Amino acid sequence: MRKWSRRDAAAALLFLAPSVIGFTLFYLVPFLMGIFYSFMDNSVSGQFVGLHNYKELLDSGSFRKAASNTFYFTAISVPLMLVLSLGLALLLNQHLYLRNWLRTAYVLPLVIPVASIILIWQMLFDWNGSLNAWLDYFGVDRVDWMKTDAARNVVIIVYLWKNIGYNIILFLAGLQQIPKDYYETAQVEGAGRLRQFFSITLVYLTPMTSFVVLMSIINSFKVFRETYLIAGDYPHDSIYMLQHFMNNMFMSLDIQKLMAAAVMMVGCILIIVLGLFAIERRFQKSME
């Protein structure tokens, strides 16, 4: 048995080696170098300056604006994503007409290139776009969607449209793993649909829900691609995100502040992830 286990371990390491090497060379090592540069005054022949770059970031009005906008966007879009994706997954889990076609429709945004879709969104939300044309037709004043506070709502809609299909697939996978005997037993004992949802569905979807929340938070930090393609380098203040700040630092070759901002963002994501894991463990222990 020991020989077989050693052979299996050697085979596993052999198959994992390319991925581990690639992750180390292209992700881990650059990130560690970035942490190192965040404590230097320049990236060529710099001197160690400690937390000076981090202090300048916290004193920067543009960084605080980007951080507050990113936090607001995540706090609004992630709960919306969770509720909508779970509701649609529950709907698609029923025996509905055209259910398979609906599932395919929600997955399509994942496979269509973002750049091509953004052209449609631009035509939709432009000052002379189709949405303003409909508003004007019904006697409503036009809205400059991308140059007012309404731009935040546009980015949230694009984020939901782009990522909701992935979460629906995850929730559907979790729903199909729940034994139907539990629901039948609950119906025999007189439990209604609402009681079944809170006592059975949500309980057994806890691990999947934690994963969906985690992925939604990570994707919310990656909304820069859509925002950049829609609004450019310097969008309206309401959608100026951390990624915009870091992109502008890169364009000005201020690598130290760029790395410091990236380290702070990774630290925030890590704290959120650890908090989600702690909440999930407590919930599972309480259910046991």
Per-domain boundaries in the chain = 55-287
Q: What is the pTM of this model?
A: 0.80
SS (H, E, C) 184-226: HHHHHCCCCHHHHHHHHHHHHCHHHHHHHHHHHHHHHCCCHHH
Which one-letter amino acid corresponds to residue 110?
Answer: L
Q: Where are the beta strands (DSSP E) in the chain?
A: none
> What are the C-alpha distances in Å from 275 to residues 33, 82, 94?
27, 17, 33
Q: In this predicted structure, what is the pLDDT of residue 265?
A: 86
What distance, in Å, lies between the first and last C-alpha atoms of the chain?
35
The arrangement of secondary structure in 55-287, i.e. its CATH architecture, is: Orthogonal Bundle (1.10)
Side-chain-side CA neighbours of 32 within 13 Å: the count stands at 6
Find out whether 75 and 287 touch, Cβ atoms under 8 Å.
Answer: no
> What are the C-alpha distances in Å from 276 to residues 17, 118, 206, 212, 257?
30, 32, 11, 11, 29
The one-character DSSP state at 233 is S
Q: In this predicted structure, what is the pLDDT of residue 178?
A: 85
Rounded to an integer, what distance in angstroms lies between the CA atom of residue 56 and that of residue 117?
Answer: 38
Q: In this predicted structure, what is the pLDDT of residue 218?
A: 84
Q: Walk along the chain (288 residues) and give the pLDDT tens digit of each residue.
A: 565 567 777 787 888 888 889 989 888 888 888 888 888 877 676 778 888 888 988 888 888 998 898 889 989 999 999 999 998 888 888 776 666 676 677 777 777 777 777 777 778 888 788 888 888 888 888 888 878 888 888 888 888 888 888 888 889 888 888 888 888 888 888 878 888 888 888 888 888 888 888 888 888 887 777 787 777 777 888 888 888 888 888 888 788 888 888 888 888 888 888 888 888 787 777 665
